[in-house]
Amino acid sequence: MGRKIWVICIIILGMMMGMPSMVGAAPSVIWDGEVELPSGTFDFVPTNNQSASYGINNFTDLGALVAANQSAGFSINISDEWYASLGSFWINGINGTNNEPWGPSSKSWSILVNDVPASEGLNKNTLKNGDVVSFWFCPTNSTTFEPIIDEATYVLNITLKPTTVIWDGEVELPSGTFDFVPTNNQSASYGINNFTDLGALVTANQSAGFSINISDEWYASLGSFWINGINGTNNEPWTPTSKSWSILINDVPASEGLNKNTLKNGDVVSFWFCPTNSTTFEPIIGEATYVLNITLKPTTVIWDGEVELPSGTFDFVPTNNQSASYGINNFTDLGALVAANQSAGFSINISDEWYASLGSFWINGINGTNNEPWTPTSKSWSILINDVPASEGLSKNTLKNGDVVSFWFCPTNSTTFEPIIGEATYVLNISAVIESSTRGSSSGGSGGGTGHATIVKLVDEEEQTVAPEEPQSEEDEGQVAPDEDADTDSAEQPDTPDAETEEDKNDLPGFEGIVAVFGLLLSSIFIMKRRV
């Protein structure tokens, strides 16, 4: 009799092991939806203490839970039992599912914000539009108290309505000013710098077609304009929680009013419709309902690299005067430019037109981009060494090891003639490595050694040919734009899984199946022996 019972147990055990596992089964979803939270606070009365009332920020996990409760109608059981000591509330139950009596594997309600366990108790976790707060009924790790959501039986997901993007795009601003007529005062006209927040806003408005409502009501006292509305969304009448348009530059609140914030290429200016802190007046962008993002087209990098400069001089032939030849020190801005030209293949157009009077050369163009005819806002090539404008003309600025000489195509200040690199459309960066005296020497060329290098005939912009010291292939002739995708073809592609192999793996019997079969075999053997 005992052996029969043992055999039956083996059969049952085998069958149980062969059943599909219930671990990891999807939890029941109580609700999964979106809520739009108002700014400000609301009065909250906990379930266990109907005589109490607390002012709660709407943009918290509790604010979202109450908003979803009002929208969907599920029940919530919230306690203030530990509020005095913890400053937060406790979830006793949601939709009739209450916390189990405490034990190592008991389930209770846990809070996650954007799939990360909340660091605070209920009502102390601040949210922003677009966040997802979820409540999981699951056990917790007995040591870390982290929720084990893989074992959850219920979940409630609440998404805060994301901020609506009116426009998100790129603009290319011209240098100089434009005439601006405010919405409220059509008889007025102001000269505004294009490279300001207002300049970017007007350019984007012309490009995308959204409406703008700009006032000069406080211009006389503040020297700046006021945004009344964008795309039909106007500032709300002022209250501590009302929304209005705020300006941020590279995610930092603007320090000045509209039109007094100067921008540079690559900056991002954004306009957020949101409330402001009632004390600091900082914009609360987490509660914004609308945003407009404008990126100023970044400066194009022609080349950014390192060149090794040998000791000595080289013979330089300017583009405009092929019969002339000048001995130039390799350790100069011109030496670095010629070395980079030979390495990267971009074109350079250098003139000696003013060499006799200035003792230096003039950059007419780089990579096919030539100086514009002179106006107060025209662009031309400027030289900076370690981010400081060069004090001398081309070839008269000496470099040392580690220096970075950069050439910017930008306008210059009409009074100081300082380059305005924030408005540059092109830049070429060269890091100079000065030859060490201990490296030894090699003969000729730009690869090392001392003395004169072979004459370098520079690119003639009209002929578009390059004649460096050594002959180049047909591929290298003419203007060569920086090859940003040079490694694209050679890059290894990620391996893709073999579909048949994965299917075969899925067809193999699992551990549970093997145990089940083994149990059945054993039971059969015992039954047969019993009959014998």
Q: What is the reported pLDDT for 519?
A: 47
Indicate the pTM of the whole model.
0.78
pLDDT for 104: 87
Q: How far is CA 325 from CA 30, 312, 321, 322, 463, in A?
A: 84, 16, 9, 8, 19
In a domain, 405, yes or no: yes
CATH number at residue 208: 2.170.130.30
495: in domain = no
Same domain, 146 and 129: yes
Mean pLDDT (the chain) is: 84
Residues 104 and 69 grouped into a single domain = yes
Q: How confident is the model at residue 501 (pLDDT cuts 50, 70, 90)?
A: very low
Cα–Cα distance measured from residue 33 to residue 153, given in angstroms and rounded to the nearest whole number: 19
Residue where a domain terminates, one of 434, 460, 476: 476
> How many structural domains are present in the chain?
3
327/455 same-domain check: yes
Residues 53, 150, single domain; the answer is yes
Q: Check whether residue 38 and residue 68 sit in a common domain.
A: yes
H or E, element range at 56:
strand 54-57
Q: What is the domain range of residue 230?
A: 166-298
**In a shared domain, residues 311 and 459:** yes
Query: Residue 407 forms beta bridges with which residues?
Result: 383, 428
> Residue 342: what pLDDT?
96
Q: Are residues 438 and 403 in the same domain?
A: yes
Give the CA count within 13 Å in the CB-facing half-sphere of 501.
3
Question: What distance, in Å, lies between the first and last C-alpha atoms of the chain?
Answer: 16
Select the more confidently predicted residue: 313 or 488.
313
- pLDDT tens for residues 374-393? 999 999 999 999 999 999 99
The average pLDDT across 461-470 equals 36
**pLDDT confidence of residue 244:** 98
**Which of 239, 272, 298 is the endpoint of a domain?**
298
Q: Could you read off the pLDDT of 195-242 as tens digits, one per residue?
A: 999 999 999 999 999 999 999 999 999 999 999 999 999 999 999 999
Check residue 435 and give its pLDDT: 72
- With cut-offs at 50, 70 and 90, classify the pLDDT of residue 437: low
Q: Is the pLDDT of residue 510 over 70?
A: no
My answer on whether 329 and 447 are in the same domain is yes
- Residue 370: the pLDDT is 98
292 plus 322 within the same structural domain:
no
292-327 confidence digits (pLDDT tens)? 999 999 999 999 999 999 999 999 999 999 999 999
Q: Is residue 524 part of a domain?
A: no
| 294 & 305 share domain | no
Q: Are residues 411 and 319 in the same domain?
A: yes
Same domain? For 155 and 228 the reply is no
